[in-house]
Amino acid sequence: MSKVLIYGEIRAGKLKKTAFELASEARRLADGLGGDVAAVVLGPQAEQFAPDLARFGADTVYVVEGPQLDAYNTEYFAQALAQVIREKQPEIVLLSHTMQGKDLAPRTAAKLGIASIADCVSFEIDGGKLVGKRPMYAGKCSAEWVCKGSPQMASARPNVLEAVENPKAGKVEKIAFSPDTGRSTYTTRELSLDTSGKVDLTEAEIIVSGGRGMGGTDYSLLEEMASIFGANAAVGASRAAVDAGWRPHSDQVGQTGKTVCPNLYVACGISGSIQHLAGMGSSKVIVAINKDPEAPIFTKADYGVVGDLFKVVPEMNKELRALLAE
Amino acid sequence: MKSLVCMKQVPDTETQIKVNSQGTGIVTEGIKYIINPYDEFSVEEALRLKEKFKQGEVVILTIGPDRCTESIRTALAMGADKGIHINDESLNSADPFVVAQALAAAASQVDYNVIFCGHRAIDDDFAEAGAMLAELLQIPQVTLVTKVEVSDDKTKAIVERDVEGGKETVEVSLPCVLTSQKGLNEPRYASLPGIMKAKKKPIDKKTAADLGITAEARLESREYSMPPERKAGKKLEGMEPPDAAKELVRLLRNEAKVI
């Protein structure tokens, strides 16, 4: 019997990196408990990802197939996931707190009459029970949570857990989906995705962010820096910049936007309000570039440059281009 | 058009949160409370639907202690018609499943075409109650909604939602649960006549017993803690931009080792 079951999210025909983070963490937890790791993937293209999941520690890969699972739909994906959980009875179920995970986990949990410890940044086993530590109030504090129901379910914040290769058999087991088509659900009319391959802020390894100091909609300097850093870098914005209409709300970092935890956060012209600092405070390294030497952001920044971002950033881009071209 | 709006009262975003000395929760003294910002979008959208259809009702549904009355009055002052205030020790700080159970029980006592929830509350950040409510009521959910168009016969809606890296447009039959995302609208301020009228609007008080539910916790919190304090690091001041940039990039590569 599998102790730990993870959900492997597939997006745009690829298994997300967060699936490897989950598989590795599940391996660690299952080894501690003395049990197996299983992964579940849904949809017609799912089986091809079994070897990848095996490489990161999955003993078994459940592949659920059915015409309702061709594209993501909350109701059917939740039904399929709940079906596997009911049939296989894992002790622990882990998902990623991605945009899809946030939609899927609570619907699945409710079908099982449980709740999920959402958005955890670390896990441990205490007395045989899963303990998930999660930031609250956008990271202003944290708390440890345990499940009272069964199975125990939690979601992990992307980009926090380490993905470690640990090859296992990854035996494929196909499961036929038995949907309840009597349930009402939405139908997708149109899906318009940015095809530039830009990474979502919550999963970016480097974020270059601009605030009120940008003075307008021209973020080309920051876009340029992000593109020098490569595909794992994204551009963010403060609430002031979003409320001014300079940037889309999906770029907003902070308590009423996204909570992020990149390896490097470069804050340009952001003074550092409490709600912004909460949203990016768990970044591994913070850089601040601001004209005002008294800006609160400098109290949290590992590296600060007091200066005009419009003069400093172009010079940085020159340096970075030369360095990263090597 | 009848909308049920689930609304939570949360600490203001500029609140400095502190963990209490026992580590069992946060220090609540001196906190200024506001309507959860995502719930404000819900209130506004519900009001716009009522205005568009020139008939209907906007009902505010809140779980929480006495202080939540103030937030309900604010929503009533914006134009909502009445409030339902679930105030019960066993529910006021319950986990998302128990909250969803209470909301579902209250929802089943009223008429609605649509239910709005914020896509998350900015206090505990679980982002679960909306989807769970939809499942418990056995109706569809559409999360992270940025645009809503309800058909003239109020049987369906075309809804735009945020998905990773883009937008999805879906068609959904009503009733359903929609969870509001920033970008849906710009919430209005309460007008002075609105504030006067709100004082006379009804707020139904409910307990767990009134709803016929017993709260059986699905999650339990343990130790609360503060994040590790970040300290100010190196500050490059008074340098020419090319020198500062060069030094910063050197530090990021050789000292921080992040690039």
Type of residue at A294: E
Q: How many other C-beta atoms can be found within 10 angstroms of the C-beta atom of residue B12? A: 14
Query: Would you say residue A197 has pLDDT above 80?
Result: no
- A125 and A236 both lie in a single domain: no
Query: Would you say residue A45 has pLDDT above 90?
Result: no
DSSP bridge pairs for A286: A265
Which residue of chain A has the CA closest to B97?
Answer: A115
Q: Which of B11, B128, B244 sits opposite A118 (nearest CB)?
A: B128
Which residue of chain B has the CA closest to A313?
Answer: B245
Confidence band of A195 (pLDDT split at 50, 70, 90)? confident
Residue A157 contacts residue A119 (beta carbons within 8 Å) = yes
Q: Do B245 and A315 touch (CB under 8 A)?
A: yes
Q: Would you call A317 helix, strand, or coil by DSSP?
A: helix
- A103 and A239 both lie in a single domain: no
Q: Do B236 and A305 touch (CB under 8 A)?
A: yes
Mean pLDDT of B232-250: 97
Residue A287's domain comprises: 201-325
Q: Which fold has domain B2-211?
A: Rossmann fold (3.40.50)
With vertex at residue B92, the alpha carbon angle to CA B91 and CA B94, rounded to the nearest 5 degrees, is: 55
How far apart are the CA of A215 and the nearest CA of chain B, in angstroms? 19
- A6 and A131 both lie in a single domain: yes
B46-70 confidence digits (pLDDT tens): 999 999 999 999 999 999 999 999 9
Q: Among A176, A192, A218, give the residue marking a domain's end.
A: A176
- A145 and A227 both lie in a single domain: no
Q: Would you call A280 helix, strand, or coil by DSSP?
A: helix
Q: Find tokens 């970016």 and name the residue.
A: A204
How does DSSP classify residue A199?
P
Which residue of chain A has the CA closest to B38?
Answer: A256
Number of structural domains found in chain A: 2
Q: Do A114 and B218 touch (CB under 8 A)?
A: yes
- A143 and A243 both lie in a single domain: no
The more confident residue out of B145 and B166 is B145
Mean pLDDT of B244-249: 98
Tell me the CATH number at A269. 3.40.50.1220
pLDDT at A103: 98
Q: Which of A74, A198, A306 sits opposite B141 (nearest CB)?
A: A74
Q: Distance of alpha carbon B200 from its chain centroid, rounded?
A: 25
Residue A194 located in a structural domain: no
How far apart are the CA of A105 and the nearest CA of chain B, in angstroms? 8
pLDDT at A326: 75
- Chain A CB contacts of B143 under 8 Å are 74, 102-103
Tell me the CATH number at A24. 3.40.50.620
Q: Would you call A126 helix, strand, or coil by DSSP?
A: strand
- Chain B CB contacts of A144 under 8 Å are 221-223
Select from B13, B151, B28, B11 the least CA-distant residue to B71: B11
How does DSSP classify residue A269?
S
Q: How many other C-beta atoms can be found within 10 angstroms of the C-beta atom of residue A116? A: 35
d(CA A162, CA A56) in angstroms, rounded, equals: 11
Average pLDDT taken over every residue of chain B: 97
In the numeric block, which tokens belong to residue A117? Answer: 């410890």
Residue A193 located in a structural domain: no
Decide if the complex's ipTM is over 0.90. Answer: yes
Query: Would you say residue A198 has pLDDT above 90?
Result: no
Mean pLDDT of B29-48: 98
Please classify residue A34 by burial: count the beta carbons closer than 10 Å to its beta carbon, then call 0-12 exposed, 13-18 middle and 19+ buried: exposed
Query: Would you say residue A79 has pLDDT above 90?
Result: yes
Query: Would you say residue A325 has pLDDT above 90?
Result: no
- A36 and A141 both lie in a single domain: yes
Alpha-carbon Rg for chain B, nearest whole angstrom, is 22
Select from B126, B12, B170, B229 the least CA-distant residue to A274: B12
A95-136 confidence digits (pLDDT tens): 999 999 999 999 999 999 999 999 999 999 999 999 999 999
Q: Do B96 and A281 touch (CB under 8 A)?
A: no
- A213 and A289 both lie in a single domain: yes
Q: Would you call B219 helix, strand, or coil by DSSP?
A: strand
- Chain B CB contacts of A93 under 8 Å are none
- Chain B CB contacts of A190 under 8 Å are 167-169
Q: Which of A78, A255, A318 sits opposite B122 (nearest CB)?
A: A255
Residue A189 located in a structural domain: no
| CA distances (Å), origin A143, targets B19, B25, B150, B227 | 10, 8, 40, 10
Q: Would you call A279 helix, strand, or coil by DSSP?
A: helix
Mean pLDDT of B186-196: 97
Q: What HEC string does A202-252 produce?
A: HHCCEEEEECHHHCCCCCHHHHHHHHHHCCCEEEEECHHHHHCCCCCHHHE
Q: Do A109 and B248 touch (CB under 8 A)?
A: no
Query: Would you say residue A194 has pLDDT above 90?
Result: no
Q: Do B126 and A293 touch (CB under 8 A)?
A: no
Q: Where are the domains of chain B?
A: 2-211, 231-259
d(CA A37, CA B157) in angstroms, rounded, equals: 41
- A230 and A115 both lie in a single domain: no
d(CA A90, CA A177) in angstroms, rounded, equals: 18
| CA distances (Å), origin A317, targets A213, A287, B138 | 18, 14, 53
pLDDT at A1: 58
Which residue of chain A has the CA closest to B157?
Answer: A186
- A13 and A150 both lie in a single domain: yes
d(CA B146, CA B127) in angstroms, rounded, equals: 16
Residue A186 located in a structural domain: no
Q: Would you call A256 helix, strand, or coil by DSSP?
A: coil
How does DSSP classify residue A180?
-
In the numeric block, which tokens belong to residue A207? Answer: 């974020």
Q: Do B222 and A286 touch (CB under 8 A)?
A: no
Q: Do A287 and B232 touch (CB under 8 A)?
A: no
Q: Do B239 and A307 touch (CB under 8 A)?
A: yes
Q: How many other C-beta atoms can be found within 10 angstroms of the C-beta atom of residue A216? A: 9
pLDDT at A16: 95
- A66 and A134 both lie in a single domain: yes
d(CA B104, CA A79) in angstroms, rounded, equals: 20
Q: How many other C-beta atoms can be found within 10 angstroms of the C-beta atom of residue B153? A: 7
Q: Do A307 and B17 touch (CB under 8 A)?
A: no
In the numeric block, which tokens belong to residue A254? Answer: 């902070």
d(CA A123, CA A91) in angstroms, rounded, equals: 14
Residue A161 located in a structural domain: yes
- A112 and A252 both lie in a single domain: no
Transcribe B89-110 into DSSP letters. HHHHT--HHHHHHHHHHHHTTS
In the numeric block, which tokens belong to residue B23? Answer: 């580590």
DSSP bridge pairs for A142: A135, B225
- A132 and A267 both lie in a single domain: no
pLDDT at A310: 98
Residue B11 contacts residue B120 (beta carbons within 8 Å) = no
